[in-house]
Structure 1
Amino acid sequence: MKNVKTAALLIEQGFGARLLLQSKLLDELIKRSISPIILTSGPNTINKYLTDKGYTDIPVHPLETKLYEVKKSQIISRILQFTRFLAQKSQTTLDHLKIEKENALLSKNTNTKIFLYIVRTVVRIAKFHHKIMFAIIRLENKFTLTHGNSIFFDRYKPDILITTSIGTFDNDAYVMREAKSRGLKILTYVLSWDNTSSKGFGTNLSDHIIVWSPQMLQDLMTLHYIPQDKISIGGVPHFDAYSKIHTELWDKDRLYSKLNIEPNKKLILFGSKSPNNFSSNLYIARLLCELFNNDSDLQDYLIICRLHPIYFRFNRTSDGEHFGEDWNELQEEYGPDTIMIDYPEITDSDLNYFMSDNEILKLGSLLKHSKLCINMFSTLNLEASIFDVPAINVCFEDPDLKKVNAKIARYDIRIDERQTHNQRVINSGATKVVYSAPEFIHSIKQELQSPEAKKAARSRLVASECHTNIGTSSQYAADLIQFLAINI
């Protein structure tokens, strides 16, 4: 395929927009004469964003999913999809399979039990050899091919489709099948560092895949059996803003002024975990508040609690409860000298988890000026390491928490600890993992007293998980996409 001019960018949620639109990647693609067309589940949000940025000539088309949903609901489609997600030979997918088994045992629905029995049987067969799994994937691709976005493809006739997963998100597998049936080349820029080891197999329809790092490249080769010549390392475009060569991040005075922080306060950043699979965020935050209130050595510190974007799935404001938790009440209880709740600016429109450009700068600035980052096995481990900030991972939960629904296993933080990508972080020595409240308290003081202890390990972690081109990865990735779009 020669002289590619149009690229369809598939964006299903705000996280994908952060990579493809809110980094410098979009600018760099346009500079290279690649004309983007956006296919998205949030056309109103994306249209407004592009207009506000001055991109008034980029077409935006709504992603149609009605026909996809009909096909998804069919029992054969569900069995094939579940098999693809659960047959990968990684610790993460093994745990996911155990979770599904436990949920089925707890369920009173006989059909659920029968369904999982069939899936587990097919998964066992698929694991004998990856060629069996590939045959199942080909069957799924053929059986589930649905022309749900014919209007888009007929109208714009893109030369290439760019996705942010290999077919493991909500609807991208269906779009990829439809695009491939029309002869389009498919280029995938994998959205996140865990996606290659935690989401199962893709559709095997990507003509080329760009990943963040050498580690992700190895995942694709060993867990997905994808040949190395179909994979390139591009870095992390949305981390470019964190580079020292860029000056957009706020200095301390500006950050403190914007967030109304007392000048004498030192910052501890606490990044909450998705409430979808962790119910102890409030407990951990309260534990921190009690510690900092009662220890004279920590009186000069302020806890900045940044809420995970998924908290805003149903309530996109800072008022009221989020997933049944009232964070304003916590702040009122302990006061602004102890804790500040950072509510990300989430656009209240038709695209889930879409944050303003300002949020990238705010998070980077918070990390830049923090003395410690506390999280639960999230990407913050990498981001904190970029800024050479010590990190602690919490691996315990509220002991009084009662888990009574059919998703008990999903809330086990030890499952996160065992995940393939998190094990790499733990084994790197760049972060501390704590398993109890007393150990947590001790480790906070230890990391604050000796911030340089893991400095070398943090540097190695960034190089292995984020590549070495932070600050220029958007340009690098755009060159790569331009070359691949013409040559794959």
Structure 2
Amino acid sequence: MTLNPQKPRIFISADHGLAVVYFLQSDVVPTLLEAGAEVIVLSDDSLTEQLARRFGRPGLTFEGLRLAQARAYEQQHDREWQWWLGFLRRVGSSRRINTGATDSYIRQVMVESGNRRRLFLPLALLAVLALRHSRAARRALRRAQLRYTPGLYTDLFERYHPDLVVAATPGWRLDRYLLREAAARGIRTAAVVVGWDNPSSYSLPGAPVDWITCWSAIQKDELVLGSDWPPERVHIGGIPSYDGYFRRTWLIPREAYFRLHGLDPQRKLIAYACSFVSFSPNYQNVEALARLVASDALAEPAQLLVRLHPNHFWNVKLFRDEADKIRRLARELPHVHVVEPVPLGGELGHYSGEDMPEKASMMAHADVFTTVYSTMVVETAIHDRPIVSVCLDVPGGWNVPRKYSLPLSKIGNWPTHLRFRRSGAGKVALNERELAAALNHYLQNPQADHENRQRFIREEVTFTDGTAGRRTGEFLFSLLQRPAGGWE
């Protein structure tokens, strides 16, 4: 691409499949281009040509994000110090917000850490106590991170001279190295919140970031109260990734969708999206649902469609084995089917925009949608379908030494989970009796909790008219008129 020296240039870091959806499958990047910016998207090195073929247009360039080099620096340069900084950053938010999610991460680290790290855990827990009670301590931690700025992107900065660098997180992931280098050069920085639970699960910024845009007033409070963001630097823009749901852009007609998966059009569809795999097996939930549909024990003849989780495809034997058990269950029992998320490729994993039509149609055509407090409870509420969070415990969890397990009945007070419960947008089942009752209630009363679902999505995503991408793009473009700095 021939660069226009008169146009402002914006770097966008899309280091995750969800970030690709957020920026490229919404109106965010088109709005920036139409406003007169040139956009350079940095993503997985092996996918730049693929992304360029699919999304390329005048003014848009793709470059590699050098994730392998960033990971090598993380692993080889003061590895333990960087790890502890990351741990403290993740769990060090102020006690003024609900810390349920990060408290569980602390317990996970206590169980899964090797003997060497365990020696330092008492000191780390004292540091966490200080961070949660002291804004000065949190500021000191943010500053301490800056010594790890490797300069991996020097040639890109010198080639493009960007006016603004935008990332899918405020440095919670490897994007921290890009953001730190931008800040060191005096370049404006901004972040977006891609995930529903991100502000309450990942806490303090990993780099100096000037502005951030989030989904809702709820997330803004989490950022301001938990991570000391100045309120005037937090923008509420909604969630661009969901504009396609509101516009029904991705929807496959019901008949075609049922045909795609070999579903029976005469049977009600119960969908289950696996979730929370890192903390608990999902098989017990799937098995309970499968027994109910296979034995025709529900109020209506039904069938089950199970969506595996992206983590099922990690190189982790526990997760892969569970996926195989679910596939085997579908082969052995009638009316049980499995769908697998489609990978984008490279390091972006199975969190991908490649199957947005699949996700949208699964939710829209489900007579009852079930999961474990997944973000898909928000997405399904957009489609106004009944929702049940299935939280059946399994004794011992994963039952593997040094593998932390958390009973699903104990996670209801995590920030996003608690909001779902209080909203009345769906039901929670803690045992098979409650599960059957919840399914039967919604099968017989499909419009039940409609008003609660509508209120829930207004509170969680703010803009329900498909304009979040345009609003976010306009906000990011407006930052070109503002000075860099102000992180502290």
Are residues 1:180 and 2:183 paired? yes
Q: Give the Cα separation in 1 of the matches to 2:127 and 2:77.
A: 18
Alignment of 1:202-217 (within 5 A): 202-203=205-206, 205-217=208-220
Q: Give the Cα separation in 2 of the matches to 1:398 and 1:460.
A: 33
Q: Give the Cα separation in 1 of the matches to 2:369 and 2:71.
A: 42
1:330-367 per-position Cα deviation (integer Å, ceiling 9, x unaligned) = 211013xx11111122234443225354x112211221
In the alignment, what sits opposite 2:264?
Answer: 262
- Aligned residue for 2:206, secondary structure, equals coil
In the alignment, what sits opposite 2:486?
Answer: none
Is the CA contact (8 Å cut-off) linking 2:370 and 2:387 kept in structure 1? yes
Are residues 1:36 and 2:33 paired? no
Alignment of 1:75-154 (within 5 A): 75-88=80-93, 89=95, 90-104=99-113, 109=115, 111-141=116-146, 143-154=147-158
Structure 2: runs of 5 or more not aligned: 484-488
Is the CA contact (8 Å cut-off) linking 1:23 and 1:237 kept in structure 2? yes
Are residues 1:192 and 2:195 paired? yes
Given the superposition, is the C-alpha separation of residues 312 and 23 from structure 1 closer, same or farther in structure 2, using an over 3 Å criterion?
Answer: farther
Q: What's the offset of the Cα at 1:128?
A: 3.0
Given the superposition, is the C-alpha separation of residues 402 and 85 from structure 1 closer, same or farther in structure 2, using an over 3 Å criterion?
Answer: closer
Is the CA contact (8 Å cut-off) linking 1:71 and 1:144 kept in structure 2? no
Given the superposition, is the C-alpha separation of residues 388 and 59 from structure 1 closer, same or farther in structure 2, using an over 3 Å criterion?
Answer: closer
Q: What's the offset of the Cα at 1:452?
A: 2.6
In the alignment, what sits opposite 2:394?
Answer: 398
Q: Give the Cα separation in 2 of the matches to 1:28 and 1:310.
A: 33
Given the superposition, is the C-alpha separation of residues 347 and 165 from structure 1 closer, same or farther in structure 2, using an over 3 Å criterion?
Answer: closer
Given the superposition, is the C-alpha separation of residues 100 and 461 from structure 1 closer, same or farther in structure 2, using an over 3 Å criterion?
Answer: same
In the alignment, what sits opposite 1:377?
Answer: 373
In the alignment, what sits opposite 1:295?
Answer: 296
Q: What's the offset of the Cα at 1:391?
A: 0.7
Q: Give the Cα separation in 2 of the matches to 1:254 and 1:425.
A: 31
Given the superposition, is the C-alpha separation of residues 158 and 67 from structure 1 closer, same or farther in structure 2, using an over 3 Å criterion?
Answer: farther
- Alignment equivalent of 1:68, drawn from 58, 73, 77: 73
Q: What's the offset of the Cα at 1:453?
A: 2.7
Is the CA contact (8 Å cut-off) linking 1:86 and 1:93 kept in structure 2? yes
Q: Give the Cα separation in 2 of the matches to 1:139 and 1:453.
A: 51
Are residues 1:329 and 2:328 paired? yes
Letter in 2 for 1:122: A
Q: Give the Cα separation in 1 of the matches to 2:320 and 2:74.
A: 31
Letter in 1 for 2:25: Q
Alignment of 1:358-377 (within 5 A): 359-377=355-373
Q: Give the Cα separation in 2 of the matches to 1:58 and 1:402.
A: 44
- Aligned residue for 2:40, secondary structure, equals strand
Is the CA contact (8 Å cut-off) linking 2:74 and 2:82 kept in structure 1? no
Are residues 1:16 and 2:19 paired? yes
Is the CA contact (8 Å cut-off) linking 2:299 and 2:444 kept in structure 1? no
Given the superposition, is the C-alpha separation of residues 324 and 193 from structure 1 closer, same or farther in structure 2, using an over 3 Å criterion?
Answer: closer
Q: What's the offset of the Cα at 1:428?
A: 1.1
Alignment of 1:294-313 (within 5 A): 294-295=295-296, 297=298, 300-313=301-314
Report percent identity of matched pairs.
21
Structure 1: runs of 5 or more not aligned: none
Alignment of 1:221-370 (within 5 A): 221-243=224-246, 245-279=247-281, 281-295=282-296, 297=298, 300-314=301-315, 325-335=324-334, 338-353=335-350, 355-357=352-354, 359-370=355-366
1:397-439 per-position Cα deviation (integer Å, ceiling 9, x unaligned) = 2347551221224x43245322112111111111211111211
Is the CA contact (8 Å cut-off) linking 2:313 and 2:320 kept in structure 1? no
1:310-337 per-position Cα deviation (integer Å, ceiling 9, x unaligned) = 222349xxxx9555634332211013xx
- Please, what TM-score do these two structures have when normalized by structure 2? 0.89
Aligned-residue CA RMSD (Å): 2.5
Q: Give the Cα separation in 2 of the matches to 1:356 and 1:147.
A: 30
Q: Give the Cα separation in 2 of the matches to 1:73 and 1:324.
A: 36
- Aligned residue for 2:324, secondary structure, equals coil
Letter in 1 for 2:126: T
Is the CA contact (8 Å cut-off) linking 2:280 and 2:407 kept in structure 1? yes
